Amino acid sequence: MNNNYEVAIIGGGIIGMATAYYLSKKGIKLVVIEKGYIGSGSTGRCIGGIRQQFSNHTTIRLMKQSIELFSQMEDEFGFTVEFYRGGYLLLAYDKNTEKVFKKNIKIQHKEKVNVSLLSPDDIKKLVPHINTDDIISGAFCPDDGQAFPFAVLRGYKKIITENRGDFFLRKEVVKLNKNKNFSIILEDGTKIEAEKVLLSTGPWTRELGEKVGLNLPLYPERHEAMITERMPKFFKQMIVDYRSDGCYFHQLINGQVIGCYTPVPNVPGIREDASFEFLPNIAWRMTRLVPSLKNASVLRHWGGCYTMTPDGNPILDESEIEGLYVASGMSGHGFMFGPAMGKHLAKFIVEGKWDMDFKDFSINRSFKISREYLK
Ligand SMILES: Cc1cc2nc3c(=O)[nH]c(=O)nc-3n(C[C@H](O)[C@H](O)[C@H](O)COP(=O)(O)OP(=O)(O)OC[C@H]3O[C@@H](n4cnc5c(N)ncnc54)[C@H](O)[C@@H]3O)c2cc1C
């Protein structure tokens, strides 16, 4: 095998795979290197939510494009990715949260997102099973939705393979150097040369970057999720309870309910373990909001990482090392960002210029101002 490539993509999560897919469509000679299986990092642990309700113009624009791309996947791949627009309903229980929603809705309307503020009565009509006690309002966008991460990855892998992209799976990158080209050494000693390299290694990006002298402000933290057995479908929306003891969950098209909550305080580090306290906590939080879930049977529960940055926005840029690109820090949104981000990144890697303004995601920005309120 000739191990020389135009682009090597390290990390077979949604970001690496989406970028590889678009690079492969441009005829670029590429390899994806993944230390586990495709989707074994954060992507395979996410709950598949897709929304446009953000507070930042760049993110909203990106998400509008991503939703469009998700909607085209079934035709492109020849099988369903379970993309479904059931909407995202964000709930406010206090005036401050409502103020943030109202401010965001103004920004979202400027970007022509179909979103509105609903009263508790409207919310009850939309989701009859919801307990509206203490809810003061909700932001709702019917065009937001969901897709199945493993089906999306499978589709990308199918087309990348058809386009003659290579894969090194279950091979960890242990060394990365740059002379004229990049030299990448895998755990079994295999050497790969590439003109350009993308670090799309999710929570592991900081430690891999350190191997080439990059100091990236990336902070992984553990988030857990659970899924129930199938049940008759009785709500369509992703319901997001923004209280500090809230949670977020939706019903998949096969009837399973899948959900998470954000732990307070956060649980820092690259952690994929599952805690004892999560299940009783999420059961209590979910049934407080939708009491009819009280007889649902939980099938399994797991842990995975959000990779955070200090300002809540991702890093999407070429680093100070020419030809070395970084795409990480996706917080809880990397799955939904993936398609559009991969498309832009592939173009940037090939042509050296962005076709959208990504200065809010630049590697050299000041990370001090919080840019995303709906993390
Ligand atoms: C519980 C939970 C729920 C979530 N829900 C949502 C949601 O509803 N919607 C949403 O959009 N996002 C959600 N997210 C966030 C989303 O999962 C991530 O933002 C996204 O998957 C990040 O993708 P990635 O490609 O950057 O990283 P990853 O998917 O982590 O991919 C990185 C890959 O790099 C590989 N790798 C790392 N180091 C090396 C190395 N040295 N050599 C070779 N390979 C290496 C890893 O094995 C991994 O597969 C959720 C996350 C969690 C944990």
Q: Which of 9, 21, 32, 43 to mutate to test the pocket of ligand 1 (most atoms within 8 A of CB)?
A: 43
Report residues whose beta carbon is within 6 angstroms of any ligand 1 atom. 10-16, 33-36, 40-43, 45-49, 172-173, 200-204, 208, 223, 225, 260, 304-306, 328, 330, 332-336
Q: From ligand 1's centre to the CA of 332, what distance in Å?
A: 9
DSSP letter (8 states) at residue 27: T
What is the Cα–Cα distance from 360 to 366, expressed in whole angstroms? 9
What is the Cα–Cα distance from 185 to 196, expressed in whole angstroms? 15
State which ligand 1 atom lies nearest to the alpha carbon of 16.
25
Q: Which CATH number fits domain 4-46+150-217+311-361: 3.40.640.10, 3.50.50.60, 3.90.870.10, 3.30.1240.10?
A: 3.50.50.60
Two tokens, residue 112? 């022509």
State which ligand 1 atom lies nearest to the alpha carbon of 37.
49
Q: What confidence score (pLDDT) does residue 2 get?
A: 77
Q: What confidence score (pLDDT) does residue 368 get?
A: 77
Q: How confident is the model at residue 374 (pLDDT cuts 50, 70, 90)?
A: low
Overall CATH class of domain 85-144+219-308: alpha beta
Name residue 145's beta-bridge partners. 50
Q: From ligand 1's centre to the CA of 151, what distance in Å?
A: 15
pLDDT for 371 beyond 70:
no
Domain with CATH 3.50.50.60 in the chain: 4-46+150-217+311-361
Kindly report each contact of residues 297-301 with a partner whose C-beta sits within 8 Å and lies 24 or more positions away, as own/partner: 297/228, 297/229, 298/226, 298/227, 298/228, 298/229, 299/227, 299/228, 299/229, 299/256, 300/226, 300/227, 301/224, 301/225, 301/226, 301/227, 301/274
What is the Cα–Cα distance from 337 to 59, expressed in whole angstroms? 8
C-alpha torsion sign, points 341, 312, 307, 375: negative
Check: CB of residue 286 under 8 Å from CB of residue 293: yes
pLDDT, one tens digit per residue, over 142-151 is 999 999 999 9
User: Ligand 1 atom 5: the closest Cα is on which residue?
Assistant: 46
Q: Kindly state the percentage of the chain with pLDDT values over 70.
A: 98
pLDDT for 1 beyond 80:
no
Two tokens, residue 119? 């009263």
Q: How far apart are the first and last CA of the chain?
A: 43
Q: What confidence score (pLDDT) does residue 220 get?
A: 98
User: Ligand 1 atom 2: the closest Cα is on which residue?
Assistant: 46
User: Ligand 1 atom 50: the closest Cα is on which residue?
Assistant: 46
Q: From ligand 1's centre to the CA of 361, what distance in Å?
A: 18
* C-alpha pair distances (Å), 178 with each of 175, 193, 195, 213, 214: 10, 10, 9, 11, 13
Cα radius of gyration (the chain): 20
SS3 341: helix
The answer for residues whose C-beta is within 8 angstroms of residue 154's C-beta and 6 or more apart is 77, 79
pLDDT for 375 beyond 80:
no
- Residue 365 CA, chain-centre distance (Å), reads 21
Q: What is the mean pLDDT of residues 344-371?
A: 92
The count of other CB atoms within 10 Å of the CB of residue 209 is: 22
Q: Which of 335, 345, 375 to mutate to test the pocket of ligand 1 (most atoms within 8 A of CB)?
A: 335
Q: Which of 40, 46, 170, 224 to mutate to test the pocket of ligand 1 (most atoms within 8 A of CB)?
A: 46
Domain with CATH 3.30.9.10 in the chain: 85-144+219-308
Q: What is the mean pLDDT of residues 352-361?
A: 95
User: Ligand 1 atom 51: the closest Cα is on which residue?
Assistant: 46
Q: From ligand 1's centre to the CA of 103, what distance in Å?
A: 30
Two tokens, residue 215? 């100091």
